[in-house]
Amino acid sequence: MALPLYGCRSCAVHDAIIFCHCCDARLCLHCDAAVHGATEAGALHPRARLCDACGAAPAALRCDGTVTLCAVCVGRGAPGVTRTRVATYTGCPGPAEMVRLISVDPPQLEQDFEAWLADKLPRLVVEEDVGLPPDWDVAVETARLEKMLAECCEPETEINLMQEADQQRLQMQMLLQDASAMAKKREGRERAKQRYIEKRKNRRFCKQIMYASRKARADTRWRVKGRFAKQASASF
């Protein structure tokens, strides 16, 4: 039974061969080199051969030397098959290194190797540096790749900047609140001080009778040696 073919998520023209877990995308070899060779951060993304069964995960094992399967699909396969581990890679390997990584068997004759390499690695030059085809539209492809990376990869730098801005805003609000509280306390102390000064100015150091009724009664009450006394005790 023939295995299904899955299209490249970036160009939607070539068949996908590689799966990038960080971008959560399957890519052809050309788009893989373009996406992950554009920035240093992209070059650090680990990639592996695409699972031939589900096409939605990186392959973990190669069964019987022909079919590459992810960890989930391996569990569904028949037991007793020969399994070898699929290698992962980072950066932008050259064509010869890529042949070894994706584990496809090249022809033994040297004269057939170039034709076979051109067929297996379409639109890639057989050099250490990956080139671009003549019909490659840089503006269009760059815009599409940037959009795909923005959708697939979490913008950690932007999140960190937003968190730093929020922290600075919170610290500024706390400083303003503390300054406002200190200003209110200072104003309260000043008002209390003014009240104390005014009260001290109006203070009288003399005896006063606060109520008129008490004053009238005090004038008529019996006194003994200047002190109030009862009428009965005054006869003694």
Break the chain into its structural domains and give their ranges: 18-153, 159-235
Structure tokens at 137: 């539209």
SS3 category, 61: strand
Taking the C-alpha atoms of residue 38 and residue 146, their distance in angstroms, rounded to an integer, is: 10
How is residue 235 written in tokens?
């006869």
How many other C-beta atoms can be found within 10 angstroms of the C-beta atom of residue 73? Answer: 21
Query: Which residue reads 């569904």 in tokens?
Result: 76
Beta bridge partners of 67: 63
Using DSSP's 3-state secondary structure scheme, residue 7 falls into strand
pLDDT of residue 124: 38
User: In this structure, are residues 70 and 60 in contact, taking their beta carbons and an 8 Å threshold?
Assistant: yes
Q: What is the pLDDT of residue 130?
A: 41
Would you state the pLDDT for residue 233?
54
Per-residue pLDDT of the chain (236 residues; tens, 9 = 90+): 445 578 888 888 888 888 988 888 888 888 888 888 878 888 888 888 888 888 888 888 887 767 888 888 877 765 556 777 888 888 888 777 777 777 555 445 454 545 545 554 443 333 334 444 555 555 565 566 666 656 555 555 566 667 777 788 888 888 888 888 888 888 888 999 998 888 888 776 656 656 777 777 888 888 888 888 887 655 55
For residue 2, the model assigns a pLDDT of: 47
Whether the pTM exceeds 0.85: the reply is: no
Separation between Cα atoms, residue 8 and residue 26, nearest integer Å: 6
Phi, psi of 184 (to 5 degrees): -65, -40
Cα→Cα distances 101→61, 62, 202, Å? 13, 12, 98
